[in-house]
Amino acid sequence: GAVVSQHPSWVICKSGTSVKIECRSLDFQATTMFWYRQFPKQSLMLMATSNEGSKATYEQGVEKDKFLINHASLTLSTLTVTSAHPEDSSFYICSARDNAGGHWVSNTGELFFGEGSRLTVL
């Protein structure tokens, strides 16, 4: 199956600093990637859709100036949490579909997820 890699796996930072999380599709091209946030014992909440070569599409209630998303290539999307605060501490997970050549490789609805990045803001 398609492999999505996320880095770093965990990060601790001071309040007010910015943190960048990378998401890479290792064996396929992904024109679109998705960023989710998950608090302990809760569901995955979609934050934004990252589009290669264009602006990200944010879900309602997500601050686009706080969560900067860049999708500069077909295999890399980055999420930058700017001026992080303790309430931003969470598990951030990226995902992508393998839609090689613009056509769905599979129509099973499968999303491939990165390993996740656990952010702790002190």
**Residues 78, 90, 116, 119: which binds another protein (CB under 8 A)?**
116
Structure tokens at 50: 């990252």
Q: Which of residues 61-80 bind another protein (CB under 8 A)?
A: none
Q: Is 111 in the site for another protein (CB under 8 A)?
A: yes
For 68, counting Cβ atoms within 10 Å of its Cβ (0-12 exposed, 13-18 middle, 19+ buried), the class is middle
Angle among Cα 110, 57, 14 to the nearest 5 degrees reads 95
Q: Is 107 in the site for another protein (CB under 8 A)?
A: yes
Q: Is 24 in the site for another protein (CB under 8 A)?
A: no
Distance of CA 24 to the CA centre of its chain: 10
Which residues lie closer than 8 Å to 101 by C-beta, 6 or more apart?
none
**Residues 41, 87, 101, 103: which binds another protein (CB under 8 A)?**
41
Q: Given the rule CB under 8 A, which of 19-27, 64-72, 79-87, 90-98 is the region that contacts another protein? A: 90-98
Residues engaged in binding another protein (CB under 8 A): 32, 34, 36, 41-46, 49, 57, 93, 95, 97, 99, 107-116, 118
